[in-house]
Amino acid sequence: MSSKEILWQLLNIFRGSFLTINNSFELILQILAWAKLSVNEELPPNLRLSQGSKPNTSELLLDSFNKLSEYSKLSENKVAFENITPIVSTVPSNEIVTALDFALDAAQNKLLDHFDISEELYISVLSEKGLFIPKEVIEVMSSLAGNLEGKSVYCPYDTFCLIAHHVSEYGGKPSVEIPWRSPIPRLINILTSSNVHMVIGDPLRQPSLLNEAELYKFDTSIAFPPFGTKVDIEVVNKDLFNRFEEKTSSGSVLTLRHIIAQTKEKAVIALPSSILFGRGVEHTLRKNLLLSELIEAVINMPPALLPFTPIPFSILVLNIRSKSSTVRFVNGAAEKFSTKAGRNRTKLVNWESLIETFQNSNDEALTANVPIKEILKNDANLEVCRYLLPPKQKVIKNLFSKSVTRKLKELVKFLRPSKLFPQSESEGTLALELSILDFPDYGYLRKPHGREVLLSPSILNSKEKESFLCPGDIIIATKGSAGKIAIISDDVPPPGPNAWVVNQSCLIMRSTKDIDPRVLFIYLCSKVGQTLLASIISEATVPLIQLNQLKELDIIVSNVEETKSIIRTFEEQVQIQSEINALNKKLEHLSKVHWFL
């Protein structure tokens, strides 16, 4: 019988009680741990579970667990049997006896000798207790850390000791620091026969792993901290260990700084991908790490790997001891490294091949070694997609070498949308706000179906007047449907009441005399243009194009004859689209000829 079957059998025993599935699981682990310790004779006879000495009521079971929690030779694992009164007191006696018999039988038949908790159980039972990390991701992170034999390894926030147990299997000496008290990590410690050192402490607010009032320095750190947490700024102001260079409430930034302060050699950290391109303190952090030559590698991971969050993440490898003037970027999100695992999840596959790629591959579509100077010129952006050359990018690079190019910022003026006026105001300028749904596949955007919005009554006398759409303006979606393009026709209303404006997820690009807007529109809508735009879409939960990267987009400049040809193509598209619209209207009319209500 497998560990999974044992756990499900015990869960079924307690199905009739008033326990939540989380509480049932906790009690089951405690019973199994007691049975294993008893059969392995790791407890004195008076504390062992046996057929002749078995509690048959919740009160007696509670008394047994209390005695176990006071048994000094269990050392740190004593916590596994603490604070269970609310759980045990509601369990019927017959269920307790049945569960104890089953657990003791499993232990005596050595079914607990190679205990393992399946991913399915972690996800279904422990969803509220912490972040679950797939085994394959842990394999990758451990391999990136290098040889762990005999190394001290720091594993903060490792709620279920998933990383720590893996480190232990590879001969490392893991230490786990978690900011909440729970018996589950200790129970897993007992059941998997691991020897993981665990402390209760908040790594940011009040770190517990110290050496004579200083942070203990571990050889290696492997960490998967919680994503999206905010920390009281007082944590930075009152820091006694001089860890934080950025004054911020970002939990990800502060945790990264803390791990660096607690590591001697190498740190492997999973971080939300937004850290790789964000502005503000994220940018300051990246720049500082680059200038300090601490970043060894960045590996982006396939989307939807984690069961409880859609947030994309990447793995950052920091080498504190051996600094480097280059950063290695690896595309771990390539198709060969993932497969579908249900409707909304993917599973990491071929992780050994991913490590081989990291270590040895020269494939420009998968890896790149980029000088730090170049990364700093690119706004210290650490997104992997910025530095790799997939097959299409290679073709474009070759095309650029044979063409005259200019930066987009040299050819257009970028305009942001106007801020909306509260609808509750009695005065203001009415305008029609375009929706992304109005963007046609070809030709001009002519008749939007957007919503009426209210703008400031003073907009016509301010610089914001420029945000009214004009003929030839090109609109680009920079958030959500990032990269989608539209061009405004000549019959757009003039600036003023009932004029057109764009919503907050778009930017306006107004061409200079150096390029015809129709040519630029065709270029941006082309395979080349869309490939370039796709390469600057940030790997965030909501796709995003940052203005500073959009400005640097390379635009091929056409000669006079090419320009005329492109404009003819555009006008032909407009004509065909007009004919399609007319035919659609005719079809709509015909659909109403018979039996129309």
What pLDDT is attached to residue 423? 67
Report yes or no: 453 and 501 within 8 Å, Cβ to Cβ: yes
Q: Which two tokens stand for residue 179?
A: 């900011």
Q: Measure CA of the first residue to CA of the last residue in the chain; give whole Å.
A: 65
3-state secondary structure 418-434: CCECCCCCCCCEEEEEE
Would you say residue 226 has pLDDT above 60?
Answer: yes
Name the DSSP letter for residue 470.
-
Would you say residue 321 has pLDDT above 70?
Answer: yes
Least confident of 5-14, 17-26, 351-360, 543-552: 17-26
Of residues 82, 101, 103, the one with CA closest to residue 93: 101
- Reported as a pLDDT band with limits 50, 70 and 90, residue 523 is very high
Greater confidence (281 vs 4) lies with: 281
Least confident of 258-262, 515-519, 536-540: 536-540
Between CA 177 and CA 203 the distance in angstroms is 7
Would you say residue 309 has pLDDT above 80?
Answer: no
Mean pLDDT of the chain: 90
Would you say residue 69 has pLDDT above 60?
Answer: yes
- Please write the tens of the pLDDT for every residue from 46-60: 999 998 888 888 888
What pLDDT is attached to residue 393? 85
Between CA 368 and CA 386 the distance in angstroms is 10
Place of tokens 């699981």: 25
- Tell me the longest C-alpha to C-alpha distance in the chain: 98
Q: Tell me which amino acid residue 490 is.
A: D
Between CA 150 and CA 145 the distance in angstroms is 13
Residue 57: CB atoms within 10 A of its CB come to 14
What pLDDT is attached to residue 496? 87
Interhelix angle for 3-13 vs 93-108, to 10°?
170
Number of helices (H) and strands (E) in the chain: give both, helices first: 19, 24
3-state secondary structure 160-204: CCHHHHHHHHCCCEEEEEECCCCCHHHHHHHHCCCCCEEEECECC
Q: Which two tokens stand for residue 287?
A: 């720049």
Question: What average pLDDT does this structure show over 548-561?
Answer: 94
Report yes or no: 417 and 508 within 8 Å, Cβ to Cβ: yes
What pLDDT is attached to residue 144? 97
SS3 state at 401: helix
- Reported as a pLDDT band with limits 50, 70 and 90, residue 131 is low
Residue 226 CA, chain-centre distance (Å), reads 10
> Which residues are registered as beta bridge partners of 476?
485, 507
Question: What average pLDDT does this structure show over 515-543?
Answer: 91
- Reported as a pLDDT band with limits 50, 70 and 90, residue 527 is very high
Q: Which two tokens stand for residue 218?
A: 């571990």
- Reported as a pLDDT band with limits 50, 70 and 90, residue 263 is very high
What pLDDT is attached to residue 112? 92
Name the DSSP letter for residue 597.
-
Residue 583: CB atoms within 10 A of its CB come to 10
- Please write the tens of the pLDDT for every residue from 133-169: 889 999 999 999 999 999 999 999 998 888 998 999 8
Least confident of 25-29, 239-243, 324-328, 554-558: 25-29
Would you say residue 127 has pLDDT above 60?
Answer: no
Q: How many residues does the chain have?
A: 597
3-state secondary structure 140-156: HHHHHCCCCCCCEEEEE
SS3 state at 124: helix
Angle value at C-alpha 157, between 151 and 158, nearest 5 degrees = 60
Would you say residue 342 has pLDDT above 80?
Answer: no
Of residues 412, 413, 414, 418, the one with CA closest to residue 504: 418
SS3 state at 327: strand
Greater confidence (446 vs 118) lies with: 446
Greater confidence (586 vs 462) lies with: 586
What pLDDT is attached to residue 425? 66
Of residues 460, 434, 462, 427, the one with CA closest to residue 448: 434
What pLDDT is attached to residue 481? 92
Q: Which two tokens stand for residue 376?
A: 């700093």
23-42 burial, b at 16+ Cβ within 10 Å, e below that, comes to bbbbbbbbbbbbbbbbbeee
What's the pTM value of the predicted model, to 2 decimals? Answer: 0.80
- Please write the tens of the pLDDT for every residue from 463-522: 888 999 999 999 999 999 999 999 999 999 998 888 999 999 999 999 988 999 999 999
What pLDDT is attached to residue 117? 77
Report yes or no: 214 and 171 within 8 Å, Cβ to Cβ: no
Contacts 24+ apart (CB under 8 A), 169-173: 170/142, 172/148, 172/220, 173/197
Would you say residue 353 has pLDDT above 70?
Answer: yes
Report yes or no: 4 and 115 within 8 Å, Cβ to Cβ: no
Q: Exposed (0-12), middle (13-18) or buried (19+): which is 510, by Cβ within 10 Å?
A: middle
- Can you list the positions of beta strands (E) in 387-484? 405-407, 412-415, 429-434, 451-455, 474-477
Question: What average pLDDT does this structure show over 360-383?
Answer: 94
Of residues 335, 337, 334, the one with CA closest to residue 348: 337
Name the DSSP letter for residue 410.
G
- Reported as a pLDDT band with limits 50, 70 and 90, residue 83 is low
Question: What average pLDDT does this structure show over 244-260?
Answer: 95
SS3 state at 515: coil
Q: Which two tokens stand for residue 128?
A: 């509220």
Name the DSSP letter for residue 573.
H
